[in-house]
Structure formats: structure tokens, C-alpha cells
Amino acid sequence: MTIKTFTFNPFQENTYLLYDETNEAVIIDAGCIFDAEKQLLKKFIEENNLIVKCLINTHLHLDHQFGNKFVTETFGIKPQAHIEDEFLLDNVEAQARSFGFPINEEAQPLGSYIVENQEIQFGNSSLIAIYVPGHSPGSLAFYSEKDGVLFAGDVLFKGSIGRTDLVKGDYATLILSITKKLLPLPDSTTVYSGHGPATTIGYEKVNNPYL
């Protein structure tokens, strides 16, 4: 599996494009908001002859779904996320304007829901969805045991955890999600977060002051 990272929008959100030798690909958290960002994503996909099979969201906070409509219109695939985060698609225009973002369109509706332990397949690769609420009520992480990687969204960061002061966030739930669902993964698992640098499960067990 090849992992291409794009850092988009003023929140410096990490958008991940995964693909393998079949050229089938999956986009995790399309955060592109500006035209230059959208075209950068599109150009990379086209120049590498990738076939985008699915668009999945770790959660639906603004900065992680800015580009969903663009991806849907460009590649003909609708986003997938956990049902508990669907309410975050409401009033996206007003939310974006409150941050000064140039959005004058409604959020892209979901095409389907992702549930715990669901397998997301593309080419010869796959990801397993792990339900990890707390940062948002529908937060998901995506894990590949074969490749030893975890895409944690805003649940777990290098030396930190996701904030819980947003709508329907809950600190106790977040800590439980991390300790019960993520820390049991192999220490060598590389964690790709929604913001900032990658880390490993083993590093966070020893060094994360919140855990």
C-alpha cells in the first residue's frame, strides 16, 4: 500500500490517499477547500492513473469534509461515514462562514454509512473500521493489519488526543475508545492522524501524557 499525504485548509488537516499495485485508491478525509488544493489532489490522481473506489471519513467536522462535494462531483463517488456524525452536515455553510471560509454550498450528503468492523476494500488492500467515539460521536479509525497502519482521524495524535469540547464530544468516552480499541494494536503500528506528524502505538503508550 502506498500512502500519499496532503495537508489542506487553514486547519492543516491531513488528507490521505491510499493505493496499491492495482491503481485502485481510497481517499480518507478530503479536506481540500481552496481551488488550488482541489486541483492538486485531482492532478495527483490523474497523473498516477488511479481509480478512486471510495471516499471515507474518520469524522465529519468541517475541516475533514470540505472536499467531499468536489470529490463526489469529480470522481462520481459519495462519502461514507458513521451515522452518528451525520448531523454535522447540517448548516455547514453557516459553520464555515463563522470561520471565514468561502463555502456557499450545502454539504455533500453521505452515500452510505460505515459500521464497526466493516471492511473497506480497494484493489488487493483493505481497511477495517474501528468505532472510536469521543472526539465526535461517530469517530472512526481505519486499520490495516497487513500494512501495520492506522488512520486515527482526530482521536489520537503524537503526544496528544482529540479535543472533546465540541458538540457531542466526551472526554471519558474518548479515553475509553483509545485504551480499549487502539492501544491493544501492535506497538509497531504506524498511526496517521488527522493533523500533525505520524506516530506509533508503542510510542503513545509510553509518552502520551493523556493515556
Domain 2-207 falls under CATH 3.60.15.10: yes
Whether the Cβ atoms of residue 191 and residue 159 lie closer than 8 Å to each other: no
CA atoms of 50 and 169, how far apart (whole Å): 36
**CA-based R_g, the chain, Å:** 16
Residue 208 has pLDDT above 90, yes or no: yes
pLDDT on residue 96: 77
At residue 7, what is the residue type? T
CA atoms of 113 and 107, how far apart (whole Å): 16
Mean pLDDT, to the nearest integer, of 25-42?
97
Residue 94 has pLDDT above 80, yes or no: no
Q: pTM, whole model, 2 decimals?
A: 0.96
Whether the Cβ atoms of residue 63 and residue 13 lie closer than 8 Å to each other: yes
Domain ranges (residues) in the chain: 2-207
CA atoms of 21 and 4, how far apart (whole Å): 14
pLDDT on residue 101: 75
Mean pLDDT, to the nearest integer, of 168-173?
97
List, as one string, the DSSP characters of 74-113. HHS--EEE-GGGGGGGTTHHHHHHHTT----SPPPPPSEE
CA atoms of 112 and 60, how far apart (whole Å): 14
Write the pLDDT tens digit of every residue in 118-165: 999 999 999 999 999 999 999 999 999 999 999 999 999 999 999 999
Residue 106 pLDDT class (50, 70, 90 cuts)? confident
Write the pLDDT tens digit of every residue in 171-203: 999 999 999 999 999 999 999 999 999 999 999
